[in-house]
Amino acid sequence: MILSDDLFHKFAKLIYKKTGLYYEYSKKYYVHKRLEKRAGLLELDDLNEYYLLLKFADDTSEFDKLINELTVNETYFFRDFPQLRNFAEDILPMFVREKGSRKQIKIWSAACSTGEEPYTLSIILQEMLDNPEEWDIEILATDINTDVLQTAKIGLYESRSIKDVPPEYLERYFTRRNEKYLINLNARKHVCFKRINLMDENEMSNINGYDFIFCRNCLIYFDDESRKSVLSSFYESLNPGGFIFLGHSESVGRISSAFKVRRIGDAIVYSRPEC
């Protein structure tokens, strides 16, 4: 199936408008193959027909399937370990001290993919909190891709996903099933998965009261305008004093001046000001 430059830009504009995902012309081949796959499964004659179906369909089911094809990302447990160590050893103890007797913590893992990040955060809390069973722990894990969310809910992982898990954690939080590893109840009991489109203002406005937001290696797929929109929503979702963590190649400060810049431990971190 032929994808003209003009039609590519129409698809890119439609995807951007609905999701904030920005596909430059250099991604034309990548997008083309996924459009071709979906159109072929629907037995359509050409990609223009598929475009019209997406644009004017009464429901979003086919568009959601296309987004699933476009947004499959690889991740693994304890990814970007220095940042997680900063959270676990420097920021979390400070947060616990400031909480005093109010033992409640809410974390949002946005763009959680197949679940390795939220389960990693759950493991960290189990290990770092004194008497974690006394804490009210909530980890919201969201993604726009329904396929990866289903994988995350099952919680069964290949060896490449657990390659950086410390051996004692692997024994404590996983059960081996043939050549795969199943996350156990201790790590999964605090995690709730939900489909969220980060550009849906109505959905985003309902997510609030969070102490920490992790949105790592996601905003690189957005342009500046959509990044600003998402970070503005994250700001509103955080409690005063709450922290946001992006990927190592992403910068809060370049996009938004609303967050407070702080040095905690050996890292520069960003938080919502107390007042």
75 occurs within a structural domain: no
Q: Is residue 228 part of a domain?
A: yes
pLDDT digits (tens, 9 = 90+) for 113-158: 999 999 999 999 999 999 999 999 999 999 999 999 999 999 999 9
Same structural domain, 257 and 127: yes
Is 213 within 8 Å of 243 (Cβ atoms)?
yes
In a domain, 265, yes or no: yes
* Residue 76 placed within a domain: no
Answer yes or no: is pLDDT of 73 > 90: no
Global pTM exceeds 0.75: yes
DSSP single-letter state for residue 175: E
* Domain C-terminal end among 20, 45, 70: 70
Final residue in a domain of this structure, among 16, 39, 70: 70
- Here the contacts of 255-259 (C-beta below 8 Å, separation 24 or greater) are 255/219, 255/224, 255/227, 255/228, 255/231, 256/228, 256/231, 256/232, 258/231, 258/232, 259/231, 259/235
Q: Name, in order, each residue with C-beta under 8 angstroms of 17's C-beta and a sequence gap of 6 or more.
A: none
Q: 38, 143, 188, 227: which one is catalytic?
A: 143
144 is a domain residue: yes
Which residues lie across from 177 on neighbouring strands?
A: 180
Q: What percent of the chain has pLDDT over 70?
A: 100
**Which pLDDT belongs to residue 252?**
85
Residues 102 and 236 in one domain: yes
Query: Do 92 and 204 belong together in one domain?
Result: yes
pLDDT of residue 254: 80
Q: What is the pLDDT of residues 5-39, one digit of tens each?
A: 999 999 999 999 999 999 999 999 999 999 999 99
Parallel/antiparallel/unpaired status of strands 156-157 and 180-183: antiparallel
Residue 267 pLDDT greater than 90, yes or no: no
**Catalytic site includes residue 216:** no
28 & 155 share domain:
no
What CATH number did the domain enclosing 46 receive?
Answer: 1.10.155.10
Residues 88 and 31 in one domain: no
Domain end among 70, 104, 119: 70
**Is position 143 annotated as part of the catalytic site?**
yes
Asked whether residue 224 is assigned to any structural domain, the reply reads yes
Task: Look up the domain containing 164 and give its range.
Answer: 81-271
pLDDT bracket for residue 256 (50, 70, 90):
confident
What is the distance between the alpha carbons of residues 253 and 249, in angstroms, rounded to a whole number? 12
Out of 34, 79, 85, 172, the active site residue is 34
Residues 176 and 47 in one domain: no
For the stretch 199-212, pLDDT in tens is: 999 999 999 999 99
